[in-house]
Structure 1
Amino acid sequence: MFRSGMRAVLDTQPDLECVGEAADGRAAVAEVARLRPDVAVLDVRMPKLDGLAATEAILGTPGCVTKVLVLTTYDHDDYVYRALRAGASGFLLKNLPPEELVSAMRVVARGDALIDPSVTRRLVSRFTTSIEPPAGPAELDRLTSREREVLLLIADARSNAEIAEALHVGDETVKTHVSRILAKLGLRDRVHAVVYAYQHGLVRAAPRD
C-alpha cells in the first residue's frame, strides 16, 4: 500500500519517474542492478533481505551510481548508524508528509544528503564515537568566519533555505558556502559535516528545548 501510494504521488511529478518496484530486499538489489536508477528508496523492514543489508549490497557494488534513501517507521539509533555507515544518502521516518518525501528524493538525487531532524542530535553523539575524524582541527583554520557560521547551522540540522533566512543571504550563496566547507575539510556530504562539528567540539550534542 505504501509503495502504491508513493508511486501515485511520483506519477504527478514532472521531474520524477518511478522506474521500478520491489516487494523484498533481494528483489530490490536485483532491480537496482538492472535499472541503475538515480535514487533507490528502501524500507528498513523488508522480507528476505532488510533494507539496511540491501543498502550495503547496493552501495558495495563497484561502479554504483545509485543514491539510497532509507525510510523507516522505527526510530532506532542502530538503524540510522548502520544506514549511514553503509553510505546511504538519507534516512527519514515514514510519517513525513508525501510532499516532504518527494522533496527528499530530489535532494538525494542531486547529490546532497539528509537525515530526519528529529534524530540528528541523538545520532551524532553516538556516530562521532565510532568513526575516525576526517580531518584535524587545524583544517578549521581554512574556513572563513562566515563558513564557520554556516557549518554551525548545518550542525543544527538547518536546511539551505533556513540557513539563508538566518544569515539574510540567498540560497545560491549558502550552496557555495556549503560546497567550500566540504572541500576545505575533506568531507563527503552534509551528514559528515554535522559529525565533524560535533567531533571537534564546535557544538555539543544537546537536545533542543
Structure 2
Amino acid sequence: MIRVLLVDDHIVVRTGLELLLHEKNGISIVGVAADGDEAIQKAKELTPDIVLMDLSMPKGKDGITATRILKEYLPETRILILTMHDSDEYLFRAIQAGASGYILKSAPHEELLTAIQLIYTGNAYLTPAATKRLMNEYLVKMQQEGHTSSYEILSEREKEILVWIARGYSNKDIAEQLVISVKTVETHKSNLMEKIGLRSRPDIVRYALQKGLLDFE
C-alpha cells in the first residue's frame, strides 16, 4: 500500500480527498493535517510514503516551508503539491524546496491517482501545462545560448506543417493532405509558432524563406 498523509487547511477538501483516495489503487490514507506545523509533526510520527501538501495555509507554516523542513527530516518521503495556484513562481519554489510533483486541485481524479503512483515509484510529476511551459523555456534558452537553431527544436510534424503553411495552404487543406484533423493542424501550428517566436502566417512565410525551405521551381 502507498501510505499517504493529507495536508490541507480546509476540512471539506481533506474529507473529500480521504474518501476519494483511501483504499483505492493501493493507496492508504494514514493521517491528515490542517497546516504545515501539524504536517511536520504527523509525518515524523507516521513516516508516510507520500505527503499530499497544500501550498496556502494561513495558520502555521505554509506548504513550501513545510516541504523544505520535511525533506530535511524525512528525505525518503516524497511530497506532491496539490494546489489551486497555476503559477510558475510557486512551481519553481516547490521544486526547490524538494517537492517531487505539482498538480492542480482542478485536475481530474484519475490524474491525481496517476501522479501519486508515479511519485511513489521515484518519478516526478508536473501538470501538463507546466511541463509544456518548462520545455518551451528550456528550448528557448538552448537556442539563445547557441546550442541549437530555432528550426531544430521543431518536431518533424511541425516542420512539415510549417512548410505547408508557408506554401499558402489553409489548415483544412493541410489536414486533408496529411490525413489528420484540422484541430491537430491548429495545435501544431500554435506550438511551432510559440517555439520559434512567430505571430502570423506572413511571419511563417518569411521564416521559411530565410531557412531556404521553399522550392519555387
TM range (shorter): 0.5 to 0.7
How many angstroms apart in 2 are the aligned matches of 1:15 and 1:70? Answer: 20
**Structure 1 residue identity aligned to 2:111:** E
Shift of 1:125: 6.0
**Structure 1 residue identity aligned to 2:112:** L
**Structure 2 residue identity aligned to 1:119:** A
How many angstroms apart in 2 are the aligned matches of 1:74 and 1:3? Answer: 18
Specify the SS of the correspondent of 2:61: coil
Matched, 1:41 2:62: no
Aligned residues: 136
Shift of 1:60: 2.0
Q: Using structure 2 for the length normalisation, give the TM-score.
A: 0.56
Tell me which of 89, 95, 105 is aligned to 1:78. 89
Pair 33,99 (structure 1): closer, same or farther in 2 beyond 3 Å: same
CA deviations 1:133-181 (Å, max 9, x no partner) are xxxx9xxxxxxxxxxxxxx9xxxxxxxxxxxxxxxxxxxxxxxxxxxxx
**Structure 2 residue identity aligned to 1:52:** I
Q: Which runs of 5+ in 1 are unaligned?
A: 130-136, 138-151, 153-204
Name the residue aligned to 2:36.
25
Matched, 1:56 2:68: yes
Name the residue aligned to 1:206.
195
4+ runs deviating over 3 angstroms? 123-129
Shift of 1:66: 0.5
Task: Answer 1 or 2: which has greater strand percent.
Answer: 2
**Structure 2 residue identity aligned to 1:206:** K
How many angstroms apart in 2 are the aligned matches of 1:28 and 1:54? Answer: 7
How many angstroms apart in 2 are the aligned matches of 1:127 and 1:84? Answer: 16
Pair 121,17 (structure 1): closer, same or farther in 2 beyond 3 Å: same
Q: Is the 8 A contact 1:40 1:68 kept in 2?
A: yes
How many angstroms apart in 2 are the aligned matches of 1:52 and 1:84? Answer: 9
Q: Is the 8 A contact 1:81 1:127 kept in 2?
A: no
How many angstroms apart in 2 are the aligned matches of 1:127 and 1:51? Answer: 27
Name the residue aligned to 1:7.
18
**Structure 1 residue identity aligned to 2:16:** G
Shift of 1:99: 2.2
Pair 110,26 (structure 1): closer, same or farther in 2 beyond 3 Å: same
Specify the SS of the correspondent of 1:70: strand
How many angstroms apart in 1 are the aligned matches of 2:139 and 2:90? Answer: 15
RMSD: 2.8
The percent identity for this pair of structures is: 35
Shift of 1:119: 1.3
How many angstroms apart in 1 are the aligned matches of 2:123 and 2:37? Answer: 26
**Structure 1 residue identity aligned to 2:195:** A
Q: Is the 8 A contact 1:121 1:206 kept in 2?
A: no
Q: Which runs of 5+ in 2 are unaligned?
A: 1-11, 141-146, 148-154, 156-193, 197-217
CA deviations 1:65-108 (Å, max 9, x no partner) are 21000011011111100111122110011101122212211111
